[in-house]
C-alpha cells in the first residue's frame, strides 16, 4: 500500500506522541499510583505502534510492542514503577525519536535495538516469575438473544468501567461499520481511534490492535469506550470521519450488569435499535426507519443524528506562510509609496481610499502575524525530561518550574530559541545548583529549584532562567578575565558578570560532558543577538542567578524611527527607544576618556553613531540624542536629524553583507530608497 501521502502526518504525530510520552512518564515517576497517567501512556504507545506498523516501520513497531509488554505489567499491578524501569523506558523513547528523525531525513541506517529489547524483556521477566510474560487476557465476542454481537469483558475491564461510572463518566459499547469501498482500512481505524481518544479512552477493541494494523478484519469495529461526552456527541465525532457508514452506540453499563447474569430489558433493546445510525439516511430528516421500525428522533433524546461538519483546522506548510508574509510585506511597502505620492501631488481624492487600504493591510498584517505565532510550550516541553536526566547524572536534587509556556512568539524566534535556553538550563544545573549537602549547610532547601518563566511586555517577550544556587562569583570571573587578557579596570560589577558571555570564557576548572569548555554562553549571546534580542545576567552570591532574555515578538514588520546620520537615512526600532532629547554641548561630560551625558540625575554613555559607522556629518546642524534602553543598559545615540515614525518591513541583508554587525537588515521606503536598520544591541 502507498503510504507516502501519510508520511508528513506520521512524522508530526509521532514527534507529538513521543513528547506526550516523555511528559507523562515524568509524572508517572513522581506519582506511581496514577492510573490515569498509566492508561494515557499505554494508549499513546499503542497509537505509535499502530502508526509505525501501518507505515511499514517494523523495527519501530517491535520496540513499541516490547514497551507495551512492560506497561501492561504496570497496569496489571505485577510491576512497580521504579526509577530504573522509567530510565529504560526513557531510553526507548530516545531511540524511537532517533528513528523518527532518521525517517524524516531519509537516513536508512538501522538503529540497534537488541540491548533495549533485552532490558525491557528482563524487566518484564525479572519482576514476573509467577506467570508467563506472554500470557494475554482473552478477548471474545459472543452473541446475545437477538443476534447482536457483544464484547465479553473480564474482571479488570468491569472494574475500570465501574470506576469510570463512579466518577460520573459514561461507558459505551460502540459498533462501527466502514464503507465497503474503504481502501486503507487500517489508516481509517487509526483515525477512528485518534478521534475518540481525544475525548476519552478505548479500553477494549475487537478486532484487536494487531488485526487492525494488518487489515485482518472485515468492515466492522467493536469498541468499549469511556468518556465524559454524551452519546450523541460520540456519534457526531465518529460520523465526522469519512468512510464511516454506520455507527451504533449503547451503554456499556448494561453489558457490565449482563456479565453478572443480568437480562437486557425491553427498553434497552429499543435504545439499541434507535442508536443504529445510517449516515446516508439522516440528511434533513427527523424520523427514520431502522429495521422496519419507525423511530421519532425528537422523542428519544438518547438518539443523535448529526450532519457532517467541515474540518475545523488545516495544516499548512511553513514556506507557504513565509510566502504569505512576504506578500503582505510588499503590500505594506507599496501602501507607503502610494501615501507618499498622494501627499507630494496633493491628491486629496485618494486620501479616503488610501485610509481604507491602510486599514485593510494593517488587519491583514496583524492576521498573518498571529498565524505565524506559536506558544513557547513547543520549546519548553522538552526541558523537564532534560533536568530529570541532569539531576541523575550530576547526583544533585533539583526541580524545574515552568511558568507562562502559553506566551506566543514568531515561528522564526521559536525555531532558534531552543538552543540558547538549553545552554542556560544546563549551566544552571551544573554551575548554579549546589549539592544537597552544601545546600543544607547553607540553610537552604536540599532540593534546588530552576525556574523557566516567560511573559510578554509591550512589543517584547521576556524569558527568564532563574536558579536558587550559589550565584556568580565576581572575583572568580575577574581573575579569569585577567588571565585571558581582558582588562576589568573601571568595569561595574554588572559588566564583570556579563563577561561570562565572552567567547571561550568558562570559570569551570574541569571540563565535563555538561559544561566547562566556554562555548555555551557565547552561543547564547550570539543566537539571541541574531534574533534582535538581548540577554543579561543578574546574580547574588548564595541567592542564585537570573538570566533575562528580551526578544521581539515578531521579526518581519516593526514600528521604527527614521533618523539622518550625515546624508544617510537609518531606522531604529521603536522597541528600544526610551525618549529623544535635544543635543546641547553643555550636556556632554567626560569620564574614563569616554563621553557621557547627565540626564535626570543619571549618567548615560554617549555613542556618536556617525563615528561608529564612519559616516561624514555636518557639525553645524541641530542634533538630537536618542536615548535607547537595551536590557539593563541605557545609552544615548547622537543623530543629525529626525524624519518621523514609520512602519517598516525588515528584509535580510543577504550573504554578501552578512558580516555587518551594526545592522539587523534593510527596508525599502515609500520613495524606493533602501534604508539600513540599525542593530541597537550591537551599537550599545
Residue 450 sits in the same domain as residue 544: yes
In a domain, 522, yes or no: yes
The answer as to whether 308 is a domain residue is no
CATH of the domain at 227: 3.30.70.1110
d(CA 229, CA 244): 19
pLDDT digits (tens, 9 = 90+) for 236-268: 888 878 788 888 888 876 555 544 443 434 433
Residue 276: the pLDDT is 41
State whether 87 and 41 are in the same domain.
Answer: yes
Based on its alpha-carbon atoms, the radius of gyration of the chain, rounded to whole angstroms, reads 32
In a domain? residue 562: yes
Distance CA 359, CA 170 (A): 50
> Could you tell me if 344 and 449 lie in one domain?
no
Q: Establish if 303 belongs to a structural domain.
A: no
pLDDT in the model for residue 36: 82
The C-alpha atoms of residue 662 and residue 657 are separated, in whole angstroms, by: 11
pLDDT, residue 416, reads: 82
Same domain, 469 and 450: yes
Domain that holds residue 172: 141-296
Grid coordinates representing 550 are: 528580551
What is the pTM assigned to this prediction?
Answer: 0.57
What CATH number has the domain bearing residue 356?
A: 1.10.287
Residue 235 and residue 290 in one domain = yes
451 φ, ψ (degrees, to nearest 5): -115, 140
User: How many CB atoms within 10 Å of residue 667?
Assistant: 25
Q: In this structure, are 66 and 118 located in the same domain?
A: yes
Show Cβ contacts of residue 217 under 8 Å, excluding neighbours closer than 6 positions: 185, 207, 211
Q: Residue 406 in 3-state DSSP?
A: coil
Q: Do residues 500 and 407 share a domain? A: yes
**Domain total of the chain:** 5
Residues 368 and 381 in one domain: no
Give the angle 65-71-76 at the CA atoms, nearest 5°.
125
Assigned domain for 531 exists: yes
Residues 436 and 472 in one domain: yes
In a domain, 525, yes or no: yes
Residues 69-93 pLDDT 10s = 888 877 777 777 888 888 888 888 8
Nearest to 18 by CA among 317, 377, 382, 383: 382
Same domain for 464 and 496, yes or no, is yes
- Number of other CB atoms surrounding residue 532 within 10 Å: 24
Where in the sequence numbering do the catalytic residues fall? 46, 68, 427
* Same-domain pairing of 201 and 345: no
Q: Which pLDDT does position 303 carry in this prediction? A: 39
Averaged pLDDT in 10-residue chunks for the chain of 684 residues: 68 86 86 82 85 82 84 78 84 88 80 80 59 34 44 73 81 86 80 85 81 80 86 84 83 56 39 40 36 40 41 72 81 82 82 86 82 85 87 88 88 83 89 88 90 84 90 83 77 79 63 50 80 83 89 74 86 84 81 80 83 77 83 82 81 71 77 80 72
Amino acid at each position: 500500500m502507498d503510504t507516502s501521502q501519510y508520511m508528513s502526518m506520521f512524522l508530526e504525530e509521532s514527534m507529538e506522541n513521543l513528547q506526550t510520552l516523555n511528559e507523562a512518564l515524568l509524572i508517572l515517576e513522581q506519582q506511581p499510583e496514577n492510573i490515569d497517567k498509566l492508561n494515557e501512556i499505554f494508549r499513546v504507545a499503542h497509537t505509535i505502534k499502530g502508526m509505525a506498523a501501518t507505515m511499514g516501520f517494523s523495527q519501530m513497531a517491535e520496540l513499541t510492542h516490547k514497551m507495551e509488554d512492560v506497561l501492561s505489567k504496570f497496569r496489571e499491578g505485577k510491576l512497580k514503577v521504579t526509577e530504573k524501569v522509567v530510565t529504560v523506558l526513557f531510553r526507548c523513547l530516545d531511540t524511537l525519536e532517533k528513528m523518527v528523525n532518521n525517517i524524516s531525513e531519509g537516513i536508512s541506517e538501522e538503529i540497534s535495538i537488541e540491548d533495549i529489547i533485552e532490558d525491557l524483556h528482563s524487566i518484564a521477566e525479572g519482576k514476573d516469575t509467577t506467570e508467563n510474560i506472554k500470557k494475554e487476557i482473552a478477548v471474545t465476542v459472543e452473541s446475545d438473544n437477538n443476534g447482536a454481537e457483544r464484547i465479553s469483558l473480564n474482571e479488570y475491564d468491569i472494574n475500570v468501567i465501574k470506576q469510570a461510572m463512579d466518577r460520573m463518566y459514561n461507558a459505551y459499547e460502540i459498533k462501527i461499520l466502514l464503507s465497503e469501498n474503504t481502501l486503507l482500512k487500517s489508516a481509517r481505524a487509526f483515525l477512528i481511534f485518534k478521534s475518540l481518544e481525544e475525548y476519552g479512552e478505548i479500553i477494549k477493541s475487537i478486532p484487536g490492535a494487531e488485526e487492525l494494523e494488518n487489515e485482518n478484519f472485515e468492515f466492522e469495529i467493536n469498541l468499549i469506550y469511556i468518556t465524559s461526552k454524551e452519546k450523541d456527541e460520540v456519534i457526531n465525532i465518529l460520523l465526522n470521519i469519512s468512510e464511516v457508514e454506520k455507527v451504533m452506540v449503547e451503554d456499556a453499563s448494561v453489558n457490565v450488569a449482563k456479565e453478572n447474569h443480568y437480562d437486557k430489558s425491553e427498553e434497552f433493546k429499543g435504545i439499541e435499535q434507535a442508536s443504529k445510525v445510517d449516515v446516508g439516511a439522516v440528511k434533513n430528516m427527523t424520523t427514520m426507519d431502522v429495521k422496519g421500525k419507525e423511530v421519532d428522533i425528537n422523542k428519544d433524546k438518547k438518539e443523535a443524528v448529526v450532519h457532517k461538519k467541515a474540518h475545523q483546522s488545516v495544516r499548512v506548510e511553513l514556506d507557504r506562510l513565509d510566502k504569505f508574509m512576504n506578500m503582505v510585506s510588499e503590500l505594506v511597502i507599496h501602501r507607503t509609496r502610494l501615501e507618499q505620492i498622494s501627499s507630494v501631488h496633493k491628491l486629496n481624492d485618494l486620501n479616503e481610499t488610501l485610509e481604507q487600504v491602510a486599514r485593510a493591510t494593517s488587519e491583514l498584517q496583524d492576521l498573518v502575524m498571529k498565524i505565524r505565532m506559536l506558544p513557547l510550550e513547543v520549546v519548553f516541553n522538552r526541558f523537564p525530561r532534560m533536568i530529570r536526566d541532569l539531576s541523575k547524572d550530576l547526583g544533585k536534587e533539583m526541580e524545574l518550574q515552568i511558568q507562562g509556556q502559553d506566551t506566543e512568539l514568531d515561528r522564526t524566534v521559536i525555531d532558534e530559541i531552543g538552543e540558547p535556553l538549553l545552554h542556560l538550563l544546563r549551566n544552571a544545573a551544573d554551575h548554579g545548583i549546589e549539592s544537597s549537602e552544601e545546600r543544607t549547610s547553607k540553610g537552604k532547601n536540599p532540593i534546588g529549584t530552576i525556574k523557566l518563566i516567560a511573559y510578554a511586555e509591550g512589543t517584547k517577550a521576556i524569558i527568564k532562567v532563574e536558579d536558587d544556587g550559589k550565584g556568580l562569583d565576581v572575583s572568580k570571573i575577574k581573575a579569569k578575565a585577567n588571565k585571558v587578557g581582558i582588562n576589568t579596570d573601571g568595569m561595574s560589577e554588572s559588566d564583570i558578570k556579563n563577561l561570562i558571555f565572552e567567547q571561550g570564557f568558562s570559570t569551570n576548572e574541569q571540563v565535563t560532558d555538561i559544561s566547562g569548555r566556554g562555548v555555551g554562553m557565547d552561543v547564547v549571546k550570539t543566537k539571541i543577538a541574531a534574533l534582535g534580542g538581548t540577554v543579561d545576567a543578574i546574580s547574588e552570591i548564595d541567592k542564585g542567578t537570573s538570566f533575562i532574555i528580551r526578544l521581539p515578538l515578531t521579526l518581519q514588520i516593526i514600528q521604527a524611527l527614521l533618523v539622518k546620520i550625515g546624508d544617510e537615512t537609518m531606522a531604529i526600532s521603536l522597541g528600544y527607544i526610551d525618549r529623544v532629547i535635544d543635543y546641547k554641548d553643555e550636556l556632554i561630560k567626560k569620564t574614563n576618556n569616554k563621553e557621557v551625558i547627565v540626564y535626570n540625575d543619571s549618567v548615560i554613555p554617549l555613542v556618536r553613531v556617525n563615528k561608529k559607522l564612519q559616516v561624514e556629518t555636518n557639525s553645524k546642524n541641530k542634533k538630537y540624542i536618542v536615548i535607547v534602553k537595551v536590557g539593563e543598559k541605557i545609552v544615548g545615540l547622537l543623530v543629525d536629524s529626525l524624519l518621523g515614525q514609520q512602519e517598516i518591513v525588515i528584509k535580510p541583508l543577504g550573504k554578501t553583507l552578512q558580516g555587518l554587525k551594526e545592522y539587523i537588515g534593510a527596508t525599502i521606503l515609500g520613495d524606493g530608497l533602501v534604508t539600513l536598520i540599525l542593530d541597537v544591541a550591537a551599537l550599545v
